[in-house]
A and B are shown apart, each in its own frame.
Chain A
Amino acid sequence: MPDIEWVYIKINGIALKVPKGEMIIESAKRIGVEIPFFCYHPRLSMKEGGANCRMCLVEVASRMPDGSLRKMPKPQTSCSLPAAEGMEIETDTEALNADRRGVLEFLLINHPLDCPICDRGGECPLQNNTMHYGPPTTRFIEEKRHFPKAYPLSQYVVFDRERCIHCARCTRFTRDISGDEELNFLWRGADMEVATFDHTEYNSRFSGNVIELCPVGALLSRPYRFKARPWDLQSAKSICTQCSNGCNIKLDYRLDRIHRVNARLNEDVNEEWTCDKGKFGMDYISDESRLKTPMIRRNGELSPASWEEVLYLIASELKNAEGEVAGVGGAYSSNEDIYVFQKFMRETLRSKHIDHRMGPNFQSYNSGLLKRFGCPAMGNPIAELEDMKSTLIFGSNFVDEQPILYLRVRKGWRFKRNKVVEAAPQGLISEEIRHVTQFAEVSLNYKNGTELPLAQGLLAALFEDKGRPLGEQKLLSHLSGKNVAQCASETGVDEKDIRKAAELLATDKMCIFAGEYVTHSPDATAILEVLGDIAVLTGNAGNLNVPVSRNNEQGAMELGILPDMLPGYVEEQNPGMNTEEILSACVKEDLKALWVMNTDLVKEYHNSDLANSAMDACPFVVVTALAITDTAAKANVVLPVHSVAEKWGTFTNVERRVQAFCKAFEISPDIHAEWKVFSDLSSMLGSPMTYADGKDILNEIVKSVPTFAKCGPNTLGDEGVILNPVAGGKE
């Protein structure tokens, strides 16, 4: 912990010790004193438009150098008032109440009386503050400001300009957090309005957050518009399923319909943000297309069947298959489903052919990482990223692949002056203007496919930098004898840039991200070796991050949906087949049955021809699915399974954090949890599994998989728990 200088202040006569310079509005929170506010937000900077609403006024008396107290003649805004030794603050005086009434009366002059139809009504700070501190009536009888209602800012956000109170939260968000700087103020005074440049579309990957930030109903969600009022909704704690970052969210639902998704605070993961993929992408849960009964292929057509019938059919087919069975998928299922699935395949069906990977790359890049650094994916927890003095983003469309990690890295740059070095293929940067490029100190714009020489160039530059220790001779082997100049000409990057990048990376707190351009490259293993060398050479061994991208892909790795790894990365002696081999075996008719676990295989597998012909050739394909996907349409049996809203369970996110999600509602009693399907089948096949619910399974995982030892259902809490490091495996 850095040294904090503490000061003693008094709020309403209560003495307290706070860090010097902390804003008084925050100090008041420490003792539960409420100060009303609109524009203040701890994650937004005060610069460029902060402290404008004047709602948070307090009376201040400062300590003079001679020790006397001097009361400031006018009230001050507590959101921009840094704590100093001896300050005495009053938050609840007659004068302040009058001031607050005045501020609110002014704010309401142009605010329409829309509460009954406004989507913010019921959870609106303006409404609440007016009820508590506002005047009972207004003296303004003239005509209010008028604008057309419901101006569509973007696909997701509508804007009611009449309601805006000009707090600048949204504009500061786009500058401080999302970094697309889209929103700003146009005009001044009462005519001031939030707008994009030239009223173009508000185009952002994080636009949904401004809806939650806006303290009035000015920025509203388009999909949620008029769907419900806050008191109509019930809410379930959940985890976003749209990517591997695992944002904590609240699913707000009514009966069996998801109406909106709001972020849930988790300082270690998403803070209080979500990206638009997550915020507006969870509708699939209550979509009409959800499958509500099992389907069986009869006379070439999928037709509804009962669970007894399908389970009996599957059990007999699997029995006949005698171990010539394989399973693919699992990256979208909960940890419990995954664990029971691999147990069912390995122990009940005696098959080792399971794999969740869909990409082109089956070299064991993960196990390479694991052996070297003892970490299969991300070496740094998300929260640590903002403290990295320099970050190398290598071959990644970062903002799309890892939205929340992107926000962290950007936060470090914006608020802590960290440096970012980007290496991206040439096509990517020109297409993607809102990319890391915007704030990267150096952008290495390499020729497509030259990831390896570029990484080698960086490593060579680090070696040539005389300030570096040259002891690590064995790292030199990965250079293949190249020097910086050679690498520069091979990659089409300026040699100076490579050297400058290397210089920036040579700090004691540096981390590297390798994105999909690395993991999908044929040279993946070699590139990761070199990137690992860079980490080691700069004294940051272990700070190599190869984040996964799908919902619970990390969980599928941790819990052994891999042909060569049992749960907890215990190596399998005789590995089974990987996805590619499984699909080829299907085509060659070497397998009697294939289980596709809640994955749209033909869409997601990188070689859709192979996936298609495998599905066609395999004599018996079972698909668990939420809806009839292209893959399910080719199956012999389709089983409807629970989505994230219909059961309790856990996911493992990209930083190996296990987080629980709660059941919200049931859509149909004929939709089963995935693990239930496996345990029922296993019992029919003679190896009973007796799990009552997901927590039972998690308890078994905790007992049997050492990495999960701290992740019991009762210890997860709201923030989740990071898995134990993998035993053994570290260079």
Chain B
Amino acid sequence: MAETLNRTFTPIAQGMALTLKHYVKMLTARKENIATFQYPEERREQFPRTRWRHVLTRYDNGLEKCIGCSLCAGACPARCIYVEAKENTDENRVSPGERFAIKYEINMLRCIFCGYCQEACPTGAIVLRKDFELSEYSRQDALYTKEMLLEPILMKK
């Protein structure tokens, strides 16, 4: 009987002791030495050249950089970008010059995050940034529209 108890509880106690040891160590350790992140409250800092979710950027004056040229779509090996362009008018100026994208969609399920689109873009409009949370509840939701991709207008103080 004692033999059985011994065989059962000793390893548990040993294991718990190890856990406790690390728990105490962690409580007292310096933050940067901890490997575990409390996701989603905390996120690991990405490497500088990480390529994740795309952003359509703007100029400082709020105009969109994208001119709807479709070069990104042409460069994309996964054929997952769809661009439709339209003509700027003086009443409705979206980007500098004659042309802007009225529709801009990326199918995130197909994208392989190669960054060719960013490379092809003549105006630096499309960039891949560090936001990697790209799961969706349906395939349809994984079609990112221009509204979702566009950077919000920054208010300059």
Contacts and interface: CB of A to CB of B under 8 A. Distances in A.
Interface of A: 116-117, 121-122, 149-150, 225-229, 231-232
B142 to A, nearest CB: 19
Nearest to B82: A232
Nearest to B95: A117
22 contacts: A116-B67, A116-B71, A116-B122, A117-B67, A117-B68, A117-B98, A149-B98, A225-B87, A226-B68, A226-B86, A226-B87, A227-B85, A228-B84, A229-B69, A229-B70, A229-B74, A231-B70, A231-B73, A231-B74, A232-B73, A232-B74, A232-B83
Given A116-B69, A116-B122, A122 B74 contact: yes
**Which of A117, A150, A231 has the most B CB atoms < 10 Å from its CB?**
A117
B53 interface: no
A122 B69 CA distance: 11
A226 B85 contact: yes
A226 B67 CA distance: 10
Nearest to B73: A232
Nearest to A232: B70
A134 B69 CA distance: 23
B99 interface: yes
B11 interface: no
B73 to A, nearest CB: 7
Task: Name the residue in B67, B69, B87, B123 with the highest tally of chain A Cβ atoms < 10 Å from its Cβ.
Answer: B69
Contacts of A117: 67-69, 97-99
Q: Which 5 A-B pairs have CB atoms at the shortest separation, nearest pair first?
A: A116-B69, A229-B70, A117-B99, A226-B85, A231-B74
B70 to A, nearest CB: 4
A225 B68 CA distance: 12
A226 B74 contact: no
A378 to B, nearest CB: 44
B70 A228 contact: yes
Contacts of A226: 68, 85-87, 98-99
Contacts of B85: 226-227
Interface of B: 67-71, 73-74, 83-87, 97-99, 122-123
Contacts of B122: 116
A175 to B, nearest CB: 31
A116 B68 CA distance: 8
B91 to A, nearest CB: 16
B98 A150 contact: yes
- Most chain B CB atoms below 10 A, which of A149, A226, A228, A229: A226
A560 B97 CA distance: 57
Nearest to A117: B99
A149 B83 CA distance: 23
A272 B69 CA distance: 29
A232 B74 CA distance: 7
A120 to B, nearest CB: 13
Nearest to B122: A116
A122 B87 CA distance: 19
A517 B30 CA distance: 99
A117 B100 CA distance: 9
A229 B70 CA distance: 7
A117 B62 CA distance: 20
Contacts of A121: 69
A76 to B, nearest CB: 38
Best-buried of A116, A228, A232 by chain B (most CB within 10 Å): A116
Contacts of B70: 228-229, 231-232
Contacts of A122: 74
A235 to B, nearest CB: 16
Contacts of A116: 67, 69, 71, 122-123
A231 B82 CA distance: 12
Nearest to B102: A226
A646 to B, nearest CB: 22
A117 B87 CA distance: 10
Contacts of A232: 70, 73-74, 83
A225 B87 CA distance: 8
A225 B71 CA distance: 16
A228 B68 CA distance: 9
A225 B98 CA distance: 11
Contacts of B99: 117, 226
Nearest to A150: B98
Nearest to B83: A232
A109 B28 CA distance: 69
A122 B83 CA distance: 15
A225 B83 CA distance: 14
A367 B84 CA distance: 53
Nearest to B120: A116
Contacts of B73: 229, 231-232
Nearest to B97: A117
A227 B73 CA distance: 14
A235 B48 CA distance: 42
Given A116-B123, A232-B83, 8 more contacts: A117-B69, A117-B98, A117-B99, A122-B74, A149-B98, A226-B99, A231-B73, A231-B74
From A121, A225, A227, A229, name the one whose CB has the most chain B CB atoms within 10 angstroms. Answer: A229
